[in-house]
Amino acid sequence: MRKNGMPITMLTAYDFPTGRACEIHDIDITLVGDSLAQVCLGYDSTTRLTLDEMIHHCRAVSRGSKSPFLVADMPFGSYYAGTDDTVRNAVRMVREGGIEGVKIEGGQEWLETVRKLTSIGIPVMAHVGLTPQRHTSLSGYRVQGKTAPAALEILQNALALQKAGAFSIVLEAIPRLLGMYITQQLDIPTIGIGAGAQTDGQVLVWDDVMSTWNGHKAKFVRQFGDVKGEVESGLREFTTAIRERSFPAELESYGMPEEEWTNFLALAEREGLGGAAEHHS
């Protein structure tokens, strides 16, 4: 993939229509992010998402997103119980979910896992800096690598993950200088989210880009679309039109030959049903 060329565009998708939109509108990498826990399923943390739930959404996205490279987050708890178990879970995501690569959060502790998945043909995207699956032990969603030792540790993790075979790496919520430095040091492409403008690509969450997410807006989010505004005005007009009976119009309903209607009324009356039709208002 690209290094120093045109930046890589990556966007999350969670279902068939959003996957389809990534394909049609020229996204390079579609990510079935575990952020789906929060933005689609209403959980308070990505740690609540199960492997089965993730696979269900991967299946929908993969039917819509054919040409972008398709990556999915391995859910919290699906890659800790030894390499064999992790491989089994990743293989399910590929075979049942139809995805092409997996993303895992963390550093040195996953080198063996990255080597194994890569060796059996499942490309691994690494993810360092702010790792949301660990928000509890990180004491919340905080910028990472702001001190010299912390920055060094992130760089060392990134280098080790590359050496273990990761094909790309997400850098989340780190100072922009560190994002630039790590990008220069690595041969594999870096994809930033809150890592400044010098990474090889950028990723954001669909609902942040489209302004449909009602929760906290991180500093790194830019809202490019106003789907929330469209939903508001669309629903206001929908309910108003129903309540004032301007919907449906005649053209939005079905007719019947006049003669059939007359015969119907006569038939109904003969059967002793309903009486005259003037009751309807």
Q: Given CA atoms 165, 167, 171, 175 in this order, what sign does their dihedral have?
A: positive
Q: Which residues make Cβ contacts (< 8 Å) with residue 196, sequence separation at least 6?
A: 175, 176, 177, 179, 180
Letters for 65-84 (x = contact with Mg ion by CB under 5 A, - = none) are --------x-----------
Which one, of 184, 180, 210, lies nearest residue 192 by Cα? 180
Q: Does 216 bind ligand MHF (CB under 6 A)?
A: yes
- Assigned token pair, 158: 């990134």
Residues 182-211 that bind Mg ion (CB under 5 A): none
Q: Which is nearer to ligand KIV, 138 or 278 (CB)?
A: 138
Do residues 146 and 121 make contact, with C-beta atoms less than 8 angstroms apart?
no
Centroid of chain to Cα 88: 23
Q: Is 271 a catalytic residue?
A: no
Q: Does 76 bind ligand MHF (CB under 6 A)?
A: no
CA distances from 121 to 94, 140, 278 (A): 10, 34, 72
Residues 224-263 that bind ligand MHF (CB under 6 A): none
Question: Which of 112, 172, 259, 278 is labelled catalytic?
Answer: 172
Residues 1-40 that bind ligand MHF (CB under 6 A): 35, 38-39
Ranked by CB distance to ligand KIV, the top (closest) residue is: 33
Residues of the shown chain interacting with ligand MHF in the complex, contacts defined by CB under 6 A: 35, 38-39, 46, 130, 132, 141-143, 173, 205, 207-208, 213, 216, 218-219
Return the active site residues: 172
Residues of the shown chain interacting with Mg ion in the complex, contacts defined by CB under 5 A: 33-34, 73
